Chain A
């Protein structure tokens, strides 16, 4: 297609106009509007929802405490199901040693013996 030479100047004028840019202060105002109108981000909302859990954990000493409580609870269930002796045997007597022999409950035999002698 042959371009009409009369259109040459007006096409250059159009090309120059197409490079016209908004002033910096307008860009700043538009970005400020965007910040004011933008909904809160999803990650921030997630963090807010998670705060109650973090607060509850902090109150009891954080995650290490929770892991200790969990371990004790699990051990209690296992002993209840399988019996102390079986677990102690599987653990090579560790539980007995930790308790200083079979003394996880107080040994009242000495009291009975003493009362019998009185």
Chain B
């Protein structure tokens, strides 16, 4: 990117949305580089399917571009909050349509994340193991764990993204992490973290 884009890097997402709406093509590039990885990771970890995650991330970004014309840079809404809310809803729709959704009361034992007897997994396999463990969590718990522990958002932000209270987020992330730990227990060697 050119020197002009370095100036754009210093702007917040809301200001870039306004620039995009005014025809600034560099703003589209900066927003894509900044937001698409977050949307994609969120979808990938919640859906456990890269092709579906790509579709959801692309659709969420299309909605973002369409929302730019009416975006107010001085408004209260944060672009990341808005985008993750869209990703969460699109992902839940897909999970429910495909019958892969796990409700709060339906969560059973997570599937065995160990792919065979290999002592050392590749990075992709480790991600597959994580996805398999996440797939055993109820969908809200899964979303909260991904947004808190992988994307690093604060609980109040996650509460806004998922449309629930902050205390509920705290509960979901704590229970989710405990469940993941149980699912991945004993996989220290298999996950390749031998130290």
Contacts and interface: CB of A to CB of B under 8 A. Distances in A.
6 contacts: A10-B184, A20-B40, A20-B44, A30-B61, A33-B61, A34-B65
Contact of B23 (A11, A14, A21, A39): A39
Interface of B: 20-25, 28-29, 31-33, 36-37, 40-41, 44-45, 50, 54, 57-58, 61-62, 65-66, 69, 123, 126-127, 129-130, 149-152, 177, 180-181, 184-185, 187-188, 191, 193
A14 B33 CA distance: 21
Nearest to B69: A39
Contacts of B130: 13, 17
Contacts, number: 100
Interface of A: 6-14, 16-18, 20-23, 26-27, 29-31, 33-35, 37-44
Main SS of the interface on chain B? Answer: helix
Given A16-B127, A35-B28, A37-B65, A30 B36 contact: yes
Q: Which of A8, A18, A34 has the most CB of B within 10 A?
A: A34
A10 B180 contact: yes
Contacts of B28: 31, 34-35, 38
